[in-house]
A and B are shown apart, each in its own frame.
Chain A
Amino acid sequence: MMLTLATRPLLAAACALVLAACTQSQPPVSFIAEGNPEKLSDWHLMAVSGGKLNLNKDVLPYDLNTPLFTDYAHKLRTVWMPKGQSAVYQADTTFDFPVGTIISKTFYYPKGGDGRTVLATTGNGNNSNGGAKDGDRLDLASMRLIETRLLVKRAGGWIALPYVWNADQTEAVLSRTGDQIPLEVLHEDKRSNKLTYVVPNVNQCASCHVADVKSRQFEPIGPKARHLNRDYTYEGVSTNQLEYLAKVGYLSGLPANAATAAPRNADWSDSKLAVDARARAYLDINCAHCHNDKGAANTTALHLNMGAPANLHLGLCKPPVAAGAGTGGRNYDIAPGKPDDSIMLYRLASAETGIMMPELGRGSAHKEGVALIRAWIAAMKEGCRNES
């Protein structure tokens, strides 16, 4: 009896992996320790077959409570680790991943049906809202793949490799210098807008993934407890992601009852939650990789990470430092109670390079995100009390 209990989690994990394997017949994932593989398929993380993009065995998909906005793209995120390796849980920072870890993020859109446009859906940009019903595969008849970005942890640290999918959706090819892809995005209200979807170059990847300019250490952003602490449907069963990662052996050191014990960011799109929690989660994932006290934007003294105190460094009554035309003629980052007097709102609502924030990674404004920040600022009470 004792034995059975002790081995149950292991057995469950093994069954999960066996089940996943049954549906697929890809060569094993290959961690490539050096060089810049030309094709995404060199890694064997995922393969196109039967009109679907299928994840390989042990390549585990996950979502974030509140994801980064990227021109309404949906994102299929995965993590893979070499056998016997696991990441170490950290409460507030990115998990400590072992050498050999491969994290992928595939950007895709539902097709507009006219062979030309892609759809902007107002979900929160995760995978589970992209219409992929199994969670670990994408139906290519209804989805257009854009790019797959890899973060690979090699002996010398993380590297970033952006791969751009071909028109036939059969292969993605390395594009270290980035790419610019024209898209026409159709919104739910039938409006459409054209935009140039920008694939970042490898150095631009660092603009977000180096959260500490002094250490210059490249790090994943999403795999933090507060982003991952939510449910995902694995093998048809909705399961807490942190607990599932621990169960399959990808995460060690997870506290007991993680779903309640670990920090959890709000889902920005969940209108049942408090506007403050939603707005802070939104700023955390969209801005805090630069706007923290060690980040690239610490030159501006604006700190938007979760947990940063709600004072002038959150923008309250704070005059800008290096905004240029990004002020939009407004005096303060946040003028409490006055969204239309707040630089933050102006920059989030802009799609103009040089004015918009974040400064990379989007070519259009996130209407729903802007509405959230507007509501958040509007609900603030105290004004700035200007001296004059």
Chain B
Amino acid sequence: MNRALGVIALCGSMGVLLNACTKTDGPAPSAEKVSADAAFQKKLQEQLLDAKPGSVIEIPAGTYHLTSGLTLRGDGVTVRGAGMEKTILSFKGQVTGPEGMLVYGNGFTIENLTIEDSKGDGLKINDGDTITVRKVKVQWTGGPKVSNGAYGIYPVKTRNVLIEDSVAIGASDAGIYVGQSNGVIVRRSRAEGNVAGIEIENTVNADVYDNVATNNTGGILVFNMPNLSQPGHSTRVYKNKVEKNNLGNFAAKGTAVASVPAGSGIVINSNSRVEIFDNDVIDNQTANVIISSYHSTGYFTEKGVAAGYDPYPKAIYVYGNRFKGGGDAPDGFDLKALKIAMYGLTGHLPDVLWDGYVDTKLMVKGVLPPEHRICIQKDAAVLNADGPNKYKNPSKEDAPFRCELAKLPPVTIAQLAAQS
């Protein structure tokens, strides 16, 4: 899997970047429109500068072309459009940013609007408590390109986060990406055409449910990256539809998601206490579920990983999902070869692909203690890809995975407590 993960997604060449960045689509807007949009931008940024706790900034229907990223610093502010399809902030001509909108503040709500074609991330919310993103679409309109911004909806180092009824399209890293946060709900949202559809990274206590992830490289990802201040754990991924995430990986080489094979449904990398249940996981051509270690990403270096980082997935519980199709056309030479060798030309990899890296230090008489195990539902076959031995002896061995783990409690966050 190491090589398989490494050979894909080499589209980060400068040529691609340069071409994408100098292209302009459609007729140029009229001078009147340019000047009206400049006035709009100035007024909106002034409102953001002057916002006080309780301020509601309403943005009327219309498509506005902005040349500068919007920034908000302040607590208790709501930014509200007239509707996801009605209020559109376009950053196609962005000169400075790099985000479409950058927010530092607690009690922030953004709803009913679209942010599109920002040079960097679409909506970045850094270090805040009680963050609500509702009916917000972030998209790149020119199709999958490495020059698209990395993240669509991007709360990082936040607490009490609610993302609902939102849409992310075309991110060159992750459409909806929650990083280094605590207490997160992502629900009723749609991610398509991104490298990663929905990604929960280094986050503690996240519920991801009732979402649709389709046509991404990987549908829903739960990752732990090294060197960060907080390792993540305790994520529940349930009742989602994760279908046909077979898009060629277009991430820049070197990014974590560049190691994700096209055709990945739900991917867990180096995270712990992750529960995956009641999902419809369909036709993801590498595998419907991948469980892997940072060791198989190809980025593990002796010096580049902080001491104390745990690269192994642990306490992973996959149960009650409905798997269909998938595994029939895995991405990357090694996985293709593996599939053909084990399952023939017309066969398919099983629903769950495990890279085989295990924390042997924790083993007692050759087995992991129950609380660290990977437990997979009875009807799902598991392929151990034998990563530690350079993928020489992959094996199908379901029995060790037939176990159960204690279930995680639901995530509670301030916004939903207030609603009920």
Contact = CB atoms under 8 A, between A and B. Distances in A.
A316 B303 contact: yes
A70 to B, nearest CB: 13
A312 B300 CA distance: 12
Nearest to A201: B45
**Chain B binding surface, main DSSP class:** loop
A324 B255 contact: yes
Contacts of B98: 353-354, 359
Given A325-B17, A353-B98, A312 B49 contact: no
Contacts of A298: 157, 229
Contacts of B42: 177
A334 B119 CA distance: 24
Contacts of B299: 319, 331
B150 A322 contact: yes
Interface stretch (A114-122, A142-150, A203-211): A203-211
A317 B121 CA distance: 25
Interface residues of A, number: 55
Contacts of B146: 325
A343 B254 contact: yes
Interface in B34-92: 41-42, 45-46, 48-49, 67-69, 71-73
Interface stretch (A183-191, A259-267, A379-387): A379-387
Most B Cβ at <10 Å: residue of A322, A323, A353: A322
Interface stretch (B220-228, B237-245, B280-288, B312-320): B220-228
A64 to B, nearest CB: 24
B95 interface: yes
A386 B225 CA distance: 16
A353 B252 contact: no
Given A178-B68, A328-B12, A385-B303, A299 B17 contact: no
Given A198-B96, A201-B71, A207-B71, A324 B45 contact: no
B306 A312 contact: yes
A360 interface: yes
Interface in A60-76: none
A326 interface: yes
Most A Cβ at <10 Å: residue of B42, B102, B149, B254: B254
Contacts of A327: 12, 252-255
Contacts of B172: 324-325
Contacts of A198: 68, 95-96
Interface in A207-221: 207, 210, 213-214, 216
Nearest to A327: B254
Interface in B87-115: 94-98, 102, 104
Given A198-B96, A325-B146, A384 B303 contact: yes
B194 to A, nearest CB: 12
A318 interface: yes
A105 interface: no
A271 interface: no
Nearest to B75: A216
A85 to B, nearest CB: 28
Interface in A167-209: 176-178, 180, 196, 198, 200-204, 206-207
Contacts of A213: 104, 126-127, 157
Interface string B117-152: 011110000110000000000000000001111110
B300 to A, nearest CB: 4
A216 B343 CA distance: 57
Contact of A216 (B73, B157, B173): B73
A15 interface: no
23 contacts: A177-B42, A177-B45, A180-B95, A196-B96, A198-B68, A201-B71, A203-B72, A214-B127, A301-B306, A317-B302, A317-B303, A322-B179, A324-B121, A324-B173, A324-B252, A328-B14, A329-B254, A352-B119, A353-B119, A353-B120, A354-B119, A388-B2, A388-B3
Given A177-B42, A317-B301, A325-B252, 7 more contacts: A206-B71, A312-B304, A316-B304, A319-B227, A324-B121, A328-B12, A329-B10
